[in-house]
Amino acid sequence: MLRRLAQFKNDLKQVMILAGVEGTKVCFYLEDHQFTDPAILETVNSLLSAGEVPGLYTHEELEPMLAPLKEMMLDEGGFRTPYDFFVHRVVRNLHVCLSMDPTNGMFTTQCESNPAVYTNCSLLWMGEWSRGSMRDVPLMLEGVRELVNGEGVGSMEEGSGGSGEEKNENNGHDDDGGESKGERKKGEGKGSKKKPSTKHYLPTASPETVVEAIINIHNSCKQYGAAPLDFMSFLNTWLNLFNKKKSSLQVELGHLQGGLNKLKEASETVDSLSNGAEKQKKVLAEAQIMADQAMDEITKALAGAQDTRRETEDLKKELAQRAEETAERKEAIEGELAEIQPVLDQAQEAVKGIKSENLNEIRSLKTPPAPISDVLSGVLMLLGIQDLSWLSMKKFLGSRGVKDEILTFDAHRITPAMMKQVSSLLRSKSNSFDAATIYRVSLAAAPLASWVKANVKYAMVLERIQPLERELQGAEKSLKKSQGRLDSCEAELAEIDEKVASLKDNFSKKTREAETLRVGLETAQLTLEGGERAERGGERSEQQAKRAASEAS
């Protein structure tokens, strides 16, 4: 209770700040059920009497809260302190509205203990509602309005989760109201095989007659102190009772309908088994024929597998011989390259070590020394660049990834014409490619000179071993072809083995199907007899379901 009082005071503080500080028009609405503590109404009485509540704000709270009002107080004039100006604005902008029930036993005591409720408030007594208002209220409440008009109560088929095949019986009454749009929408479920009934269940009398009956019931209780609040309680109680009864009947109907559906499914299953018996006999005969055919196919497949296995063995021997010959040729080629490969690798490592500033130093020359020009000419020739001018050389040295282009160069790209041109350059300018000479001229050009010479030597070796490489390629191609045929034969054998296993399994399956079909026919006959007994009992359950639906309506 103390916590509710503290919460109320916190809310009141916020309301008074809105009215007194911000100047907002505020309506503070309170109902008597909120007066859980007499101190709450006493606080409201103080607010109504003087526009303030002593002790509501602490001094620490007041000082920052009233600061914005000082300038406005001076402009308006007539107030001694900012707090007086704050109280004045609260009285002007805050309106307190109290809603109290005179039938409450504490009503008189609360009013006498807090006189400002009489002296500072305008009283609006609402002891009774007019008959016109009471006619309107049931039609304004959601749920009650549907009960009065007989709309939106839904069909028992939908509510119970049934199949929607129940017939719409009137129980001796004719529906004059037709179908409402709301009921048609509810009846159009996806799972229904037939459009569900949308009949009105309540009421059988007109809405006006129902409303008058409700008002008369309420008026008969006035002698016991019935008030408008009791009228509302009566309407809500009526709606709750209807919903509980409807829910109970829907559950019962759902159980009955579920049982009927199960019986129907069983009946359909029995019919299907009975009709399929003759078909199963034909299937059995066909299965026997297929089993015989499977045995013939097994025999043929096994005969073909013998030829394929012999071919596979021959191919394996041939592959072993060709692989040996290929290895010999490959070993001869690698032996030729073994001497020159370290020289080429050493030259490439030297190129990796070239620094960018050394390349920039060469580019900065207006006219390069002859050794540098000769070495760069050799590099450009190998890379297929025809322009051997100094401008072209500077452009090449300034391109991004110049070292990577040199390092990834493949000597197989050297054509006979290129090798002839570079060899001529090496012979005519041999001094420029001399290690001692070129190192004195440029640290960056020296590794490039070694790289040019190494690639020319490597290309000469490649030219010498070219016949061996062609023989190796031919041997590898033949080896690949033979390996492909071997793989094909092995795959064919695996396919044959798989097919034989599948045919054997199919043969066993067809043999078992005969026994399964015989047992199935016996089971179908027993199920048919049980289904006929269940259908006779299902007719009684269907009659109970119809009675439950009629009772709900």
Residues 400-449: tens digit of each pLDDT: 888 788 888 887 888 888 888 888 888 888 887 888 888 888 877 788 88
Asked if residue 106 lies in contact with residue 97, where contact means CB atoms within 8 angstroms, the answer is no
Give the per-residue pLDDT at 308.
77
CATH label of the domain that carries residue 433: 1.20.920.60
Asked if residue 5 lies in contact with residue 40, where contact means CB atoms within 8 angstroms, the answer is yes
Domain endpoint, select from 381, 408, 443: 443
SS3 354: coil
Give the per-residue pLDDT at 182.
38
CATH label of the domain that carries residue 15: 3.40.50.300
Give the per-residue pLDDT at 287.
65
Give the per-residue pLDDT at 289.
75
How many distinct structural domains can be found in the chain?
2
SS3 201: coil
Q: Which two tokens stand for residue 339?
A: 């001497």
Give the per-residue pLDDT at 119.
85
Instruction: Report if residue 243 sits inside a domain.
Output: no
Instruction: Report if residue 128 sits inside a domain.
Output: no
402: containing domain: 355-443
Give the per-residue pLDDT at 164.
41
Give the per-residue pLDDT at 4.
82
Domain endpoint, select from 66, 85, 119: 119
Instruction: Report if residue 276 sits inside a domain.
Output: no
- The contacts of residue 210 (CB under 8 Å, 6+ apart) are 147, 148, 203
pLDDT in tens, the chain (553 residues): 667 888 888 898 899 999 888 989 999 998 888 888 888 888 899 888 888 888 888 888 888 998 898 888 888 888 899 999 999 999 999 999 988 877 777 888 888 888 888 888 887 766 677 888 888 888 888 888 888 887 755 544 444 444 444 434 444 334 443 333 333 343 444 444 444 444 444 446 788 888 889 889 988 887 877 778 788 888 899 889 989 988 888 888 888 888 778 777 767 776 776 676 567 667 756 766 776 777 777 777 777 777 777 777 777 777 777 676 667 666 666 666 666 678 678 767 767 777 777 777 787 888 888 888 888 888 888 888 888 888 888 888 888 888 788 888 887 888 888 888 888 888 888 887 888 888 888 877 788 888 888 888 888 887 777 776 676 777 677 777 777 877 887 787 788 778 777 877 777 776 777 677 667 666 766 766 666 666 666 666 666 666 666 655 5
Report the C-alpha gap between 94 and 272 in whole angstroms: 81
Report the C-alpha gap between 397 and 354 in whole angstroms: 12
In this structure, which long-range contacts are made by residues 115-120, counting pairs with CB atoms below 8 Å and at least 24 apart in sequence? Answer: 115/45, 116/44, 116/45, 116/46, 116/48, 116/49, 117/45, 117/48, 120/48, 120/49
Instruction: Report if residue 143 sits inside a domain.
Output: no
Asked if residue 198 lies in contact with residue 186, where contact means CB atoms within 8 angstroms, the answer is yes
Instruction: Report if residue 248 sits inside a domain.
Output: no
Instruction: Report if residue 305 sits inside a domain.
Output: no
Q: What share of the chain is helix, strand, coil (3-state, %, to 5)?
A: 75, 0, 25
Instruction: Report if residue 360 sits inside a domain.
Output: yes
Neighbours of 284 (CB within 10 A): 16
Asked if residue 492 lies in contact with residue 308, where contact means CB atoms within 8 angstroms, the answer is yes
Give the per-residue pLDDT at 369.
86
Domain endpoint, select from 412, 443, 474: 443
Report the C-alpha gap between 343 and 435 in whole angstroms: 14
Instruction: Report if residue 378 sits inside a domain.
Output: yes
